Amino acid sequence: MSPLFANMPTTIFERMSARARETGAINLGQGFPDSNGPSDVVEAAAKALIERSNQYPPMAGIPELREAVADHYRRHQSLDLTPNEVIVTSGATEALAAAILSLLTPGDEVVLFQPLYDAYLPLVRLAGGVPKLVRLAPPDWRVTAEALDAAFTSRTRVAIINTPLNPSAAVMGADELALIAERVIAADAVLISDEVWEHIVFDGLKHISPMALPGMRERTVKIGSAGKIFSLTGWKVGWMCASPALTGPLSRAHQFLTFTTAPNLQAAAAYGLAKEETYFKAMRSDYARSRDRLAEGLRQGGWAVLPSQGTYFLSVDLTASGIDIDDVSFCDRLVDAFGVAAIPFSAFYAENPVTNIVRLCFAKRDETLDAAIERMARAR
Ligand code: PMP
Ligand code: GLN
């Protein structure tokens, strides 16, 4: 086996979901909703499955989805993408792999932000990249100029950001993005911008794509996921958007990763992306309501809940809640003894992990959240 994979554990999401399945615990670990997504989008997929071709679609995606993605970002984020600048992938995970593998040459430095989504570092290592980590700190996880200056050098080829950020649930502001953009431009680097949570932003905050910033249109690879936008995480339909100079290398990697993605799910994603703003607004307020329900219930049970500005997640601070064991031991105890699966924050660190925070997914029905609140109150 490649040494890269030999010592790699199974991802924390799969491990905790397997534990939840085995023990019958409430699964607030891996981030997925317990609804079946918008029924009209699911019906559009079913119809496309029966009425349309089930053979290989074009490698870069079906034209109507490429068009729909460009149009969606024109309407929602004022971006001026053309359909030729969109490549459909099998989930954002494949887009990340294609971007990291095609843009890096071994030895290139890559700026990453900790806590980091678990797929980034193994992919950077696979590509021979040299990770340079920027540490973000609770409770607000803000990006500072000093931290960036310690990570960016003239050898930086790529930076990878995620906003809203999984797992911290922080949304990057225009000022933070401008600090990053300034350094990406100075290093003549490319920014891989993982925006899978772009529609799940709360409290009147606005998601900003760094692609919209001056000087960044030509040097940003913007990654999105229909699975997240439509609460259909199993679909694995994603995309990457970039200027023509970047779509060349991106397509070359994509052709030997998956080549293409189920055409019927692509058609349904295209249908869904055309929905009006009211749909996305309603989705955001539903998730905000679930966030508040879980946060309030946990607080009443004595838990110190950290702020959540976006994503499906909120976190609790174990130390401030009076728990003096580390996050992994706590999550083991929580799932085995109290029947709730959660994700230890340390899984999102490459070095010096934060070990006193636990992530919980609130994208669940009220009764599921209420049952979890009641079990969590006993776990303190
Ligand atoms: N990036 C981030 C930050 C994520 O949270 C996720 C999944 N939750 C992904 C990428 C993967 O998205 P997909 O399921 O579309 O591959
Ligand atoms: N991104 C999801 C999460 O953060 C999990 C995705 C996966 O299991 N790979 O929970």
For residue 361, the ligand 2 atom closest to its alpha carbon is: 10
Q: Are both 70 and 10 inside the same structural domain?
A: no
Is the dihedral angle over the CA atoms 73, 94, 104, 60 positive or is it negative? negative
Q: Are both 179 and 322 inside the same structural domain?
A: no
Average pLDDT over residues 351-379: 97
The complex's ipTM?
A: 0.97
pLDDT of residue 359: 98
The tally of domains found in the chain comes to: 2
Q: Which residues line ligand 2 (CB under 6 A)?
A: 11, 13, 30-31, 166
> Considering only CA atoms, which residue is closest to atom 4 of ligand 2?
31
> Considering only CA atoms, which residue is closest to atom 3 of ligand 2?
31
Q: Choose the residue to mutate in 225, 232, 233, 240 for probing ligand 1, maximizing ligand atoms within 8 Å of C-beta.
A: 225
pLDDT of residue 147: 97
- What spacing in Å lies between the alpha carbon of 12 and ligand 2's midpoint? 9
Q: Choose the residue to mutate in 30, 93, 121, 196 for probing ligand 2, maximizing ligand atoms within 8 Å of C-beta.
A: 30
Q: Which amino acid is at 155?
A: R
Q: How far apart are the C-alpha atoms of 172 and 143, rounded to whole Å?
A: 8
Q: Which two tokens stand for residue 337?
A: 């003894």
- What spacing in Å lies between the alpha carbon of 101 and ligand 2's midpoint? 21
- Domain final residue, candidates 255, 274, 293: 274
User: What is the β-pairing status of strands 109-114 and 130-135?
Assistant: parallel
Share of the chain above pLDDT 90, in %: 97
Residue 87 has φ and ψ, to the nearest 5°, of -120, 125
Q: Residue 336: which CATH number?
A: 3.90.1150.10
Q: Are both 213 and 309 inside the same structural domain?
A: no
Site of tokens 């079913």? 46
- What spacing in Å lies between the alpha carbon of 53 and ligand 2's midpoint? 30
Q: Are both 284 and 249 inside the same structural domain?
A: no
Q: Which helix (H) or strand (E) holds 178?
A: helix 174-186
Q: Residue 260: which CATH number?
A: 3.40.640.10
Q: Which helix (H) or strand (E) holds 241?
A: strand 238-241
pLDDT of residue 9: 85
> For the whole model, what pTM was predicted?
0.97
- Domain final residue, candidates 238, 259, 274: 274
- The predicted-structure confidence for 77-102, as pLDDT tens digits, reads as follows 999 999 999 999 999 999 999 999 99
Distance between first and last Cα of the chain: 42
Q: Is 157 helix (H, G, I), strand (E, B) or coil?
A: strand
- What spacing in Å lies between the alpha carbon of 196 and ligand 1's midpoint? 6
Q: Are both 70 and 181 inside the same structural domain?
A: yes
**Structural domain span for residue 354:** 3-30+278-378
- Domain final residue, candidates 274, 307, 329: 274
- What spacing in Å lies between the alpha carbon of 149 and ligand 2's midpoint? 30
